[in-house]
Structure 1
Amino acid sequence: MTRWTVEDVPDQSDRTAIVTGSNTGIGFETARMLAGRGARVTLACRDTDKAAAAVERIRAEHHAADLTVARLDLGDLDSVAAFATAYRADHDRLDLLVNNAGVMMPPLQRTRQGFELQFGTNHLGHFALTGHLLPLVSTTPAARVVTVASVAHRNGLIDFDDLNWERRRYRRWAAYGQSKLANLLFTLELQRRLSAVGSTARATSCHPGLAATELTRHSNVVAVLAGRFVGMAPPDGALPTMRAATDPQAEGGSYWGPAGRFETSGPPVRVGRTDAARDTATAQRLWAESERLTGVTATVAPAGHDQP
């Protein structure tokens, strides 16, 4: 089988893309590669100064790159709504939404609205963002929503009795696993809803394996060193995202990750997921609960329907 590389990314000219958390790591590399293939990319980041610096780094390589910086704090639903409102006012299409940003195993913290930080940022923030932008996504031909998950979803459990760790003893790894399982269940239900109305948009997911990025800064020393000395460089870690986002053969609901042992490294291929990540009943319940918690009703427009 031919090894899939960045050279396999199709031309992205005339496509618009949003990449969350794109000032560093996998998100930066995703934005850089998309821009290098001609896409108009919005770097949606909490720190706009760092995002502006990222733009300069990309333009040093791709001088004509069409890049925009916009502030987005996924830990604040008001910020999510403001970003989406501004984006929809300035754009009549969205070809690619890459839900990349995330936090990994910090001490117990809460978002502005009081959600546990990992569930609130990794899942609820991206759920709300996607919900606000679905009128653009579902009416843009062949659009995609790509959500970055993790092998940690295998240890995840959706505890509907205490999603936000208000009664249980907080366990950082378990909370991270729950948020990453939620990412895959979100993709499962989003694709079901897109298919149900005949939309040409696709929802896909991916994970970067073990990559040397800032995401592991809250992890233990072993995890940090493993990422630094054994893990892939960020450009390689971004290839599963790029394949999920651009490969014409990446159908809706597909999940992509590294081909190597334990999915820690290697070229991007289709990878497996747990039975829990395929549970349609749990996915539908999580969707309903996410709408309740965020106050965002994520409605998919029927095929052929123009956005309001």
Structure 2
Amino acid sequence: MTSSKQHPIGSGYDAHSTAEDVVGGSDLTGKTAIITGGHSHLGLETARVLTGAGARVVIPARDPRRAQDALSVVPGATIEQMDLMDPQSIDAFSQRFIASGEKLDILVNSAGIMATPLARDAQGNESQFSTNHLGHFRLTCRLWPALRRADGARVVSLSSRGHQISDIDFGDINFDRRAYDKWVSYGQSKTANILFALALDGFGEAHGIRAFSVHPGSVLGPLARHLTEEEIDTFGARGADGRPNIDPDRDMKTPQQGAATSVWCATSGRLDGLGGVYCENSDVAPMLTEGAVGKPGVAAWAVDPSSADRLWTVSRQLTGVDLAY
């Protein structure tokens, strides 16, 4: 069984739309957003546009000094220390925010890593699954009281079309027995982002908290830092001059276009009353045609409610946390 909500709603936007386009004349004055990865690339553009619309933006970063240098284009952003692979760091950041008594209107889980060599966190979890999913699972659970205070919060998790590479291998999530494959690992973690949004929305709907997952598009940037030059060229991501190829109709986007779907999910009134869906090109994505890997749409395994429930249970076991009421 898959999500019956997973079909485009005719948003009026497309692959060429930018974050500035989709935020339109929205007035976010009085709203607070937390954006992981908000000091870099897509997260930075998301932070810039939400701030420009009036939101107060908080950016947790592993290296606050480096983040400060990048955030000169986001006046007024608050930078806090946090490492997504360090549970104590996540807890400390969350506790500080909860203790402030502030509501959290928007949480954008934008930080991530891709196609990295095999590494593990201190608990033994494979690093892509740990950073891309478990860290954000823990953060969202810890921030739950602040999300509930908002009376209409949204949680946006960046996934990728890369989720089409792999379902979650619940028998060996951390590659303890199977051979490690950096792309299978990445695909698994991106599937987890989608299933997490589906499950979270089920818990949040009664409290006015809606969750979404997004594919931003293919945007050449820091996420590709672990790829070789040959791998980057294989994807056709660069032209002969070495600059990124930009062709939104083929999913090759600028950072401004890549941030659009996250901003749309975080702010659009067209999504009122809807949640738990995977979005791309600033609209709800269709279901992926079977066998059409690399094409628009979401794989059936990533919107399976039973898998979403199973992932939640496993994530709770691996982290030792659950939604904090």
The two structures have a TM-score, normalised by structure 1, of 0.88
1:20 is matched by which residue type in structure 2? T
SS in 1 for 2:180: coil
Alignment of structure 1 residues 87-126 onto 2, 5 Å: 87-126=97-136
Q: Hey, what's the Cα distance between the residues in 1 that align with 2:30 and 2:161?
A: 33
Indicate conservation of the 8 Å contact 1:106/1:172, yes or no: yes
Aligned-residue CA RMSD (Å) = 1.6
Q: Is 1:290 equivalent to 2:312 in the alignment?
A: no
Indicate conservation of the 8 Å contact 2:34/2:106, yes or no: yes
Q: Is 1:43 equivalent to 2:59 in the alignment?
A: yes
1:133 is matched by which residue type in structure 2? L
2:48 is matched by which residue type in structure 1? R
Match of 1:164 among 146, 169, 174: 174
Match of 1:255 among 278, 282, 296: 278
Indicate conservation of the 8 Å contact 1:291/1:298, yes or no: no
- Listed one character per residue, the Cα deviations across residues 235-287 of structure 1 (whole Å, up to 9, x for unaligned) are 111001111111111221232213xxxxxxxxx22213111012111111110
Residues matched between the structures, number:
283
1:14 is matched by which residue type in structure 2? G
Alignment of structure 1 residues 262-273 onto 2, 5 Å: 268-272=282-286, 273=298
Q: Hey, what's the Cα distance between the residues in 2 that align with 1:43 and 1:175?
A: 26
Partner of 1:18: 34
Match of 1:57 among 58, 62, 73: 73
Distance 1:112 1:14, change over 3 A: same
Q: Is 1:281 equivalent to 2:314 in the alignment?
A: no
Deviation (angstroms), 1:87: 1.2
Distance 1:288 1:149, change over 3 A: same
Deviation (angstroms), 1:202: 0.7
Q: Hey, what's the Cα distance between the residues in 1 that align with 2:134 and 2:94?
A: 15
SS in 2 for 1:249: helix
Gaps of 5+ in 2: 1-9, 238-243, 247-251, 287-297
- Listed one character per residue, the Cα deviations across residues 109-161 of structure 1 (whole Å, up to 9, x for unaligned) are 11232210000000000000000011111231110010000001111221111
SS in 2 for 1:138: helix
- Listed one character per residue, the Cα deviations across residues 139-198 of structure 1 (whole Å, up to 9, x for unaligned) are 311100100000011112211111111111100000000000000000011111123xx2
1:165 is matched by which residue type in structure 2? F
Match of 2:267 among 246, 250, 261: 246
Alignment of structure 1 residues 128-139 onto 2, 5 Å: 128-139=138-149
Partner of 1:187: 197
Partner of 2:295: none
Q: Is 1:34 equivalent to 2:55 in the alignment?
A: no
SS in 2 for 1:158: coil
